Amino acid sequence: MTGTSDPGQDPTRTEHLSGAGGPGFGTFRFWFDSQRWEWSPEVYIMHGYRPGVVEPTTELLLAHKHPEDRDQVAESIARSIREGQPFSSQHRFLDTAGDEHQVMIVSERILDAGGNAVGTRGYYIDLSEAIDNAERQTLDAVVPEVVEARAVIEQAKGVLILMYSITADQAFRLLTWRSQETGTELRDIAEALIAAVQKNPPTPPSSVAAFDRLLLGIHRQVPEES
């Protein structure tokens, strides 16, 4: 999308998205009955708008989605409404300047007093590489435990990589997001995640057998040295 004539565009968008203190995370709410969206200022800025100037709607959301991801996101929203489930997704969108963002949306249901799902709320997490690198440098400088506790953090990253099919940098970003959002030390988040995963039900035998075959034959996939 381009939007040079749109008065709702954020003239400081480039500064905000450069990683120098700019928003990498934002929050949202989506109400099923009215299909009304609420964005935090950070989500507006991610999309290139000044907060509050435009009304977020499903149509606006879909107009910004990458053409290859638009149908997937539309179906995720429809399923969320139809089944009362959280709106969670990994996809790309284009901001008002046409710059591409890769985001992960992590959410939960909003329940009324009777326990019925009336909406979903959660987080936009910008996984764009430029923001990842800048914020990682800041975190490495501010949070020395990241270096000291590298082993357990690497284990937790591996869990997220396997679960969400994301990169190592993106997995690190998710861990730091939970650390910042909850005010919990990064190392403690990683240790708790590993402990919780170890309590999960055993992996189905069919999956273990498939992985056994992969492990036993993995040497055949190692490129030969020239």
What was the pLDDT predicted at 78? 93
3-state SS class at 110: strand
Q: Which residue has the tokens 């989500």?
A: 43
pLDDT band at 140 (very low <50, low <70, confident <90, very high): low
Tell me which residue of 125, 124, 120 sits closest to 35, measured CA to CA. Answer: 120
Domain ranges of the chain: 13-126, 130-199
pTM as predicted: 0.57
- For position 181, what pLDDT does the model report? 84
Mean pLDDT of the region 91-116: 88
Question: What pairs with residue 110 in β-bridges?
Answer: 119
Q: Are 110 and 119 in contact (CB under 8 A)?
A: yes
Q: Which CATH superfamily is domain 13-126 in?
A: PAS domain (3.30.450.20)
Per CATH, domain 130-199 is 1.10.10.10: yes
Nearest to 164 by CA among 99, 214, 105: 105
Whole-number Å distance between alpha carbons of 4 and 190: 43
Task: Residue count of the chain, please give it.
Answer: 226
Residue 67, pLDDT above cutoff 90: yes
pLDDT of residue 136: 54
